[in-house]
Amino acid sequence: MSDSFLSLLVKGDILDDYLRTDGVWVLTRNKQFYRTNNEKECADKCEAERNFTCRAFLFTRKKLQCLTLAENSKMTVTFTSTDTVLYEKRIYLMQCKRGIGTDYRGTEAKTQRGIPCQKWTEKTPHKPNYTPERYPNAGLEENYCRNPDADERGPWCYTTDPAMRFDYCAIPECEGECMQCNGEDYHGEVSRTESGLECQRWDAQEPHITKFIPTEPGKDLKMNYCRNPDGELRPWCFTTNPNKRWEYCNIPRCTTPPPVSGPDSQCLSGKGEDYRGRIATTESGNACQHWNTQFPHKHGWIPDRYPCKGLQENYCRNPDGEKKPWCYTTNSSIRWEYCTIPPCDRTEQGIADAPVQVPLTEECYRGRGQSYRGTTSVTASGKKCQAWSSMFPHRHIKTPDKFPDADLRDNYCRNPDGDSSPWCFTTDPNTLWEYCNLKRCDDHTQEPAPNASPGMMEHHIGPATPNTSGNSWL
């Protein structure tokens, strides 16, 4: 085996060092045009660029055109451009330092005292010992804070104050390689499981077919990095081993406490995931079971294992992204039920300044149901709906961006095309779509029985109870 081939194996995919964004163009004057066959060849041009420091490149699929760029999205204007892919070097996007920050390439340009930095190429007010010519690999660009001499106190710069030759910069430490809570906000680059298996890329469908869409907002499903997009115990990934579908990753907990996101909500906003009120009865009047007990219903939502879900006492909560807060009940024949929480944007002040509850969106439709905005997500035959933004298992054109007025949220039943009633694509690979399990608002002959919502019991017996034996349902 040749040395050059071995070096390629060690280096890995050159594109792993870049952050990819589809459909984006960067407005920049400092660029070079090349003709290449693919993104990897374009990345090679960026690495070999000598006209300027290449921070990113653009690749157009149809024209096979490569543009190496001196600026990235943090330094200039971006706008939409179809058929274009933007690749940005990750090292130039980091605004924090790892260790002593010798590889810091961010754009901080003032000291910890707030004094602007002197450009590394200038000779006044201070004649520098460290210059781009003498240290070409130290990233001494503009007047950005750097650490060319591996100073243990981190990045620094010469200052524009004649009385102070240099000073250190206040660059925050990167917390990316540790996790808060259950790691839902983990954005690090660990890409191996706790047993050492390499992770499968989130945009791949082999060796394992997945339901996750890398472009889904807020999930940060980049490359093959460990993530927690579904409320598991901690970050995980699908593996490249055909015999092992998924596995947890060994991400350490951060030593600092999680940031405070804001006041806890005492009313229903969105799905109520931030609800921290004290309602402890279900919508049918059943008392809630305490989260730290396993009687009368055994479950996996144990407070110590989910420290940021607010599982105190027996209060109604939404730890798993259900359509609204719920709880296990103290009725042994009813495992769980939703709770009635007063909506934040639909309250009025009563005589004693108590919120007056207003009914939530009706779970019925009028006319053809084009105005239906409920949260039913099950078809007439009991199949679960596919999310409108997802292309798995069915590819389609009924997407939220193409039908912006149709409220195509999550996997809720809708009627974006004026069909006879609300419908959805299904998660059954053999059934493209079906009408939904909904009645007309003027038809009271099909009142649903309490606790009989299709899929409800299946969800909280199976997947909603944290799956600690394997993500076979993913």
* CATH number for the domain that contains residue 407: 2.40.20.10
User: pTM for the full model?
Assistant: 0.40
Assess if residue 155 is contained within a domain.
Answer: no
Residues 280 and 285: their CA atoms lie apart, in Å, by: 9
In the prediction, which pLDDT does 392 show? 82
Least confident of 14-28, 142-156, 168-182, 427-441: 168-182
Q: Token digits for 70? A: 């001196």
Contacts of 99 (CB under 8 A, 6+ apart): none
pLDDT of the residue at 393? 85
Q: Which of 92, 109, 137 is the last residue of a domain?
A: 92
Tell whether 396 and 431 lie within a shared domain: yes
Last-in-domain residue among 305, 328, 361: 361
Please indicate, yes or no, whether residues 264 and 357 belong to a single structural domain of this protein: yes
Q: Which residue has the higher pLDDT, 133 or 188?
A: 133
Q: What are phi and psi of 155, to 5 degrees?
A: -55, 145
Q: Identify whether 127 is part of a domain.
A: no
Question: In total, how many domains does the chain have?
Answer: 3
Q: How far is CA 58 from CA 87, 290, 340, in A?
A: 6, 54, 51
* Segment (H or E) for 459: helix 456-461
Same domain, yes or no, for 274 and 334?
Answer: yes
Nearest to 201 by CA among 13, 60, 47, 24: 13
Domain check: are 430 and 345 in the same one?
A: no
For residue 63, name the pLDDT band (cuts at 50, 70, 90): confident
Q: How far apart are CA 336 and CA 334, in angstroms?
A: 6
- Percent of the chain at pLDDT above 70? 83
Q: What string of H, E and C letters represents the secondary structure of 84-128?
A: EEEEEEHHHCCCCECCCCCCCCCCCCECCCCCEECCCCCCCCCCC
**Cα–Cα distance for residue pair 33/45, rounded to 1 Å:** 10
Statement to judge: residues 295 and 382 lie in one domain: no
Q: Determine the structural domain holding residue 327 and report its residue range.
A: 260-361
Same structural domain for residues 11 and 73? yes
* CATH number for 43: 3.50.4.10
- Same domain for 271 and 357, yes or no, is yes
> pLDDT at position 255, please?
54
Cβ-contact 206, 219 below 8 angstroms: no
Structure tokens at 425: 């694509």
Is residue 312 classed as helix, strand or coil in its secondary structure? Answer: coil
Q: What is the rounded CA–CA span in Å between residue 67 and residue 81?
A: 14
Residue 462 included in any domain: no
Last residue of a domain, one of 75, 92, 109: 92
pLDDT of residue 457: 28
Domain assignment present for 226: no
Residue 59's identity, in one-letter code, is F
**390 lies in the same domain as 373:** yes
Q: How confident is the model at residue 362 (pLDDT cuts 50, 70, 90)?
A: low
> 265 and 344: one domain?
yes
Residues 6+ apart with CB under 8 A from 206: 200
